Amino acid sequence: MSMIFDRPPWPSRDAVLLGAVALGLLLLAGLTQVLAGEAVKAAASTATVDIDNFKFAPATLTVTAGTTVTWKNEDDSPHRIGDQNGTFKSAALDTDDTFSHTFAAPGEYPYICTIHPYMVGKIIVKPAGKVSSN
């Protein structure tokens, strides 16, 4: 969407049509979510944790409920994400592999690399709409 509107100054007829269709789809998706009883912000949030030099960056990440967090392994060694309470666990991530998890429920999720258990991180999930991202 933004790419289309960023392209100045006169959008082509095709782009306008495309934009209208996309907008319609978004509205439909939003309506579906509301009907399903989910309190979801207009656009699904995403956040990233980089794994480099055997560290999670950021080590503590605060997001709102519904955010999808993606870990990307930028190390030359494999890493594997596992949280303390067993709610999420990745496969072993080779160099450049990623793992994503959507955090629906507010709470604190301490996690480690299960291959290198001294590597620790934490995801703090706040109720949607109450906290600006950190």
Partner 1 sequence: MADRDEKDLLSGPNMNRRGLLKCMTWAGTGVVWTLSGGVPRTLGLIGGAEAAETPQGALTFVQISDSHIGFHLPPNPDPGATLTEAIEKIKAMPTQPAFLIHTGDISHLSKEEQWDEADQIIKSANKQVFYIPGEHDVADADNGKAYLARYGKNTKGKGWYSFDMAGVHFIGLINVFEFQPGFKSAGLAKIGDEQLEWLEKDVAGRSASTPIVLMAHLPLWTIYEQWGWGTADAGRALGYLKRFGSVTVLNGHIHQIIQKVEGNITFHTADSTAFPQPAPGTAPAPGPMKEVPAGELHKYLGIRTVNYVRGKGAPALTDSTLVA
Query: Could you say whether residue 10 binds partner 1 (CB under 8 A)?
Result: no
Query: Could you say whether residue 72 binds partner 1 (CB under 8 A)?
Result: no
Minimum separation from the CB atom of position 56 to partner 1 (A): 11
Q: Looking at 9-17, 62-70, 88-96, 99-107, which segment touches partner 1 (CB under 8 A)?
A: 88-96
Q: For the beta carbon of residue 75, count every other beta carbon within 10 angstroms.
A: 20
Query: Could you say whether residue 94 binds partner 1 (CB under 8 A)?
Result: yes
Residue 49, judged by CB atoms within 10 A of its CB (0-12, 13-18, 19+), counts as buried
Residue 65 CA to residue 30 CA, distance in Å, equals 16
Minimum separation from the CB atom of position 68 to partner 1 (A): 21
Query: Could you say whether residue 80 binds partner 1 (CB under 8 A)?
Result: yes
Query: Could you say whether residue 118 binds partner 1 (CB under 8 A)?
Result: yes
Residue 85, judged by CB atoms within 10 A of its CB (0-12, 13-18, 19+), counts as exposed
Query: Could you say whether residue 61 binds partner 1 (CB under 8 A)?
Result: no
Minimum separation from the CB atom of position 71 to partner 1 (A): 15
Query: Could you say whether residue 58 binds partner 1 (CB under 8 A)?
Result: no
Contacts to partner 1 by CB under 8 A: 53-55, 75-78, 80, 84, 91-92, 94-95, 110, 112, 114-120
